[in-house]
């Protein structure tokens, strides 16, 4: 079959997400490996934008890049207000926040699975 695209691996999608966020100057990008910890995804990426406009732009560009480069259709929630946008690319979940909203929800701490507690206790 000429022009057939092989499905992108989870690691390809994860790398593409990180590249896209870097290209769009996302702030404080954190990638949390979830494989073996949760069945919802293999990777969770959390990043901030400086404004609702930047958050919305990063989310839109990320979705377009994943579709164009990997044939990956994603689901997006929260785009109209762009305080917190969730991009679901199946095994890679991306949370984009305005900084104030990110601090309030503090997802990194929630998904640390006790890693921070162990470090704080030591």
Confirm whether 26 is domain-assigned. Answer: yes
Confirm whether 2 is domain-assigned. Answer: no
27-33 vs 75-77, strand pairing mode: unpaired
Confirm whether 119 is domain-assigned. Answer: no
Query: Is residue 49 within 8 Å of residue 38, measured between CB atoms?
Result: no
Question: Domain count of the chain?
Answer: 1
Give the pLDDT band (50/70/90) at residue 66.
very high
Confirm whether 89 is domain-assigned. Answer: yes
Confirm whether 94 is domain-assigned. Answer: yes
Q: Is the sign of the CA dihedral 19, 91, 63, 48 positive or negative?
A: negative
pLDDT digits (tens, 9 = 90+) for 21-49: 999 999 999 999 988 888 889 999 999 99
Domain with 18, as residue range(s), is 10-105
Name the one residue in this structure whose structure tokens are 């590249």. 19
Confirm whether 24 is domain-assigned. Answer: yes
What's the pTM? Answer: 0.85
pLDDT digits (tens, 9 = 90+) for 80-118: 999 999 999 999 999 999 999 999 998 888 776 544 433
Query: Is residue 34 within 8 Å of residue 41, measured between CB atoms?
Result: yes
The CATH number covering residue 27 comes to 3.30.460.10
């Amino acid at each position: 079959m000429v022009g057939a695209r092989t499905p992108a691996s989870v690691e390809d999608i994860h790398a593409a997400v990180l590249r896209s966020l870097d290209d769009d100057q996302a702030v404080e990008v954190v990638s949390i490996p979830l494989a073996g910890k949760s069945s919802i995804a293999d990777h969770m990426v959390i990043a901030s934008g400086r404004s609702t406009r930047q958050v919305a732009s990063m989310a839109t560009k990320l979705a377009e890049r994943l579709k164009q480069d990997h044939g990956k259709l994603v689901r997006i929630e929260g785009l109209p207000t762009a305080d917190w946008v969730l991009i679901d690319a199946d095994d890679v979940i991306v949370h984009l926040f305005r900084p104030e909203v990110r601090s309030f929800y503090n997802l990194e701490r929630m998904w640390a699975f006790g890693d921070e507690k162990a470090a704080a206790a030591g």
